[in-house]
Structure 1
Amino acid sequence: MENTVLFNEYYRNWIDVYKQGAVREVTLNKYHMTSLWVDRLAPDMKICDLNRLTYQRLINAYAELHERQTTMDFHHQLKGAILDAVDEGYLDKDPTRKVIIKGRQPRPKKEKYLNQFQLQTLITSLKLESEISWEWFILLVAKTGMRFSEALALTPQDFDFRKQTVSVSKTWDYKGKGGFLPTKNKSSVRKIPLDWQVSIQFAQLLKDLPSDQPIFVRKKVYNSTVNHVLGRYCRRSQLPVITIHGLRHTHASLLLFAGVSIASVARRLGHSSMTTTQKTYLHIIQELENKDIDLIMRSLSSLNQ
């Protein structure tokens, strides 16, 4: 079996054969980015050069410039192709076995969510006029916890004002050429209850708009544009500057602190499982558990012998 072909030549061909048309464009772009990094870090590496030592050196070189989780993703994207190379006889053994994943220390994370008072301050400061704007987008995400791409894909026919719900059944390809795409997973297809005030407001806003056209998309949309609008309102109100995704975290956090069950929060957010919700909001869940322990102990101490 010919194994003197360059590893990245094999990898690029593997992407074209197995990933092109099989994964979403955003995922495909990640594979292409991995290929560019292999070009940069090991441009002359042949498949026959791949062994545990050379593969670990490649991973280590990548890890010097990236955080551990990003390095783990890089490894996983390479591993699929390498295992196929083993199956095809290019390699006798799996060089990725027992690889050690390293990485740079994570950067200090920005404030991810607002508390209830801060969110109220933000919503009160929004300049909500009689036509659709990014301010209305910010309000809707804050009230529903939708993902950015889900909210962009909303059309007037997704709203049921009689039942006070909005249906999430698609996303908007804002990273690519535009157009509707499927949701992130099956659990993301859902109906989100709306409060009466938002229902009345959007019923008025949408009454003359085309029923099947996206409400918020008029031209190419960038995540940074909407984040800039949100950031401007945060700074004006002297609040922590968060992103649109931070509004989703805010929504979930307020529900959890209000005592809404993890299962209900997971369904509302469109998580594939409660495990995802638990991992994402572990710090909040732990804080709530500490409050529960205090409550339990106070209740028990009130029982007289």
Structure 2
Amino acid sequence: MTTKRTDATSETKPRRSRSRQPGSIQDYDTKDGKRWRFQIYVPKDPEYPELGMRRLTRSGFTSTEDANDALQEALKQRKQNEKFGTKVPTLGTYADEWVAGLKLAASTITGYKKIIRNHITPQLGAIHLDKLTATRIARHYRDLEDHGRNDQYGKGRPLSANSVHKVHVVLGAILDAAIDDGHITVNPSKKKRTVKAPTTSEVRAQKPEIVTWTGEQLNLFLIWDRDEIDDELFALWRLFAYTGMRRSEALALRWSDINTKTMRISIRRAVDTNDWTKTKPTKTGTARVIDVDAETLKVLASYKVARAELSFSLGKADAYVFGDDDGKLRSPDAMTSRWDRRIKWITAKYSTMHRVTIKGLRHTHATLLLEMGVHPKVVQERLGHSTITTTMNIYSHVTPTMQRSAIDRFAASLGQA
């Protein structure tokens, strides 16, 4: 009769769950020599731990050191509850997902989509995020500078430094988000030794010169527009010229925004250029109040009477000042077209006049104020710039005039010394 052995050496030990092991490394033979692989158990989905574990294997390492490095990285991912086995998306696919999740002004998102559509996806969109290198990005920027324009009238011509800089900003933001999502560990667009994006000075050097009118030219236009063509929109053009208001801000004004007692206008909203039937906050996201001269207020008061004669509702406090005859918002582009027709007429009549845009009226307002010695901080507040640096960068062309006036006053104050 045999007896059953029960000594410690014959006991069967309980098997430990492999999911709790830190991982294992094994070697195996191939026709090219010995290789190593590692195995660990990871959650099927970190967001749903109740689904259990699965085995993850990675092979093909040429040394135990390489296999162990990869194992440690995998263990780190497991500890941080990152997903495994998810294929890294292409830049084009990820860019579309990124821009769809942004919560910004509609016009900003539209601009980002245009950059992605024209200058990122066609050239780099098929590259997987983890395969995009700094060298490839650098070459892409040089290609854009050489023949990057994709618009109807300039297709194949060089893209400006400012436009390439915008591409760089958007691409950098996309790749930063890819880091946050665990697709890549570094942002290749920020490797400055390799990626040479246009500098601020290069962007500024290529910026077109601001075209403005002198005070005499502005006065000539306003008199001609009021007296010779009896323009129904004279009040709008004068408001641009005397306040420096943005086109979209002026078209979104309500009569309640104009305070004739304090002689001020509150700029609270702007027409949404992506859907001009709606309004949005101002460009900086904050309202501002500007002072207005008495004559401009008289012009606006006369215009209000004319509007009320068309329909009583058009003169109510909540009515748009420059709305259409039904009281609805006007299209900013339609107003630009009407402005352009007037410029065509006056430049044909007077050789001393040259073309300026509606934005040129805004620039004219700021330039004349600065040439008169008005403090740049006042100009910044009137224009609604977020910082005084923006104002000074845009109107740097006025600086020599300001310096001459300042030094003349300085010298005069010292007398004959």
TM category, shorter: 0.7 to 0.9
CA distance change for structure 1 residues 140 and 128 in 2, over 3 Å: closer, same or farther? farther
Q: Which residue of 2 aligns with 1:39?
A: 121
Q: Partners in 1 of 2:160 and 2:169 — Cα distance?
A: 15
SS in structure 2 of the partner of residue 292 of structure 1: helix
Q: State yes or no: 1:224 paired with 2:336.
A: yes
Q: State yes or no: 1:197 paired with 2:197.
A: no
The one-letter amino acid of 1:173's match is D
Q: State yes or no: 1:237 paired with 2:237.
A: no
Instruction: Tell me by how many angstroms 1:234 deviates.
Output: 4.3
Instruction: Tell me by how many angstroms 1:153 deviates.
Output: 0.5
Q: State yes or no: 1:61 paired with 2:132.
A: no
Structure 2 segments unaligned to the other structure (5+ residues): 1-83, 149-158, 309-314, 325-329
Matched ranges for 1:4-19 at <5 A: 4-17=88-101, 19=102
Q: Which residue of 1 aligns with 2:369?
A: 255
SS in structure 1 of the partner of residue 290 of structure 2: strand
CA distance change for structure 1 residues 108 and 96 in 2, over 3 Å: closer, same or farther? closer
Q: Which residue of 2 aligns with 1:95?
A: 188
Instruction: Tell me by how many angstroms 1:122 deviates.
Output: 1.1
SS in structure 2 of the partner of residue 30 of structure 1: helix
Q: How many residues align?
A: 299
Q: State yes or no: 1:136 paired with 2:250.
A: no
Q: Partners in 2 of 1:105 and 1:174 — Cα distance?
A: 26
In our comparison, the structure showing a higher alpha carbon Rg is 2
State the identity %.
23
Q: State yes or no: 1:114 paired with 2:213.
A: yes
CA contact (8 A) 2:376 2:388 kept: yes
Instruction: Tell me by how many angstroms 1:295 deviates.
Output: 4.1
Q: Which residue of 2 aligns with 1:30?
A: 111
Q: Provide, for residues 18-64 of structure 1, a one-character-per-residue CA deviation record: whole Å limited to 9, x for no partner.
A: x1xx1111111111112212222224222132111112222222233
Instruction: Tell me by how many angstroms 1:186 deviates.
Output: 4.7
Q: Partners in 1 of 2:138 and 2:319 — Cα distance?
A: 50
Q: Partners in 2 of 1:104 and 1:155 — Cα distance?
A: 38
SS in structure 1 of the partner of residue 361 of structure 2: helix
CA distance change for structure 1 residues 140 and 276 in 2, over 3 Å: closer, same or farther? same
The one-letter amino acid of 2:234's match is E
Q: Which residue of 2 aligns with 1:167?
A: 266
CA contact (8 A) 2:258 2:265 kept: yes
Which structure is higher in strand share?
A: 2
Q: Partners in 2 of 1:232 and 1:275 — Cα distance?
A: 34
Q: Partners in 2 of 1:191 and 1:237 — Cα distance?
A: 36
CA distance change for structure 1 residues 16 and 108 in 2, over 3 Å: closer, same or farther? closer
Q: Which residue of 1 aligns with 2:173?
A: 80
The one-letter amino acid of 1:24's match is A
> TM-score w.r.t. structure 2 length?
0.66
The one-letter amino acid of 1:123's match is L
The one-letter amino acid of 1:259's match is G
SS in structure 2 of the partner of residue 126 of structure 1: helix
Q: Partners in 2 of 1:234 and 1:74 — Cα distance?
A: 39
Q: Which has the higher contact order (CA 8 A, sep 6+)?
A: 1
Q: Which residue of 1 aligns with 2:283?
A: 184
Q: Partners in 2 of 1:136 and 1:231 — Cα distance?
A: 16
Q: What RMSD, in angstroms, separates the aligned Cα atoms of the two structures?
A: 2.6
Instruction: Tell me by how many angstroms 1:81 deviates.
Output: 1.4
Deviates more, 1:175-184 or 1:131-140: 131-140
Q: State yes or no: 1:214 paired with 2:295.
A: no
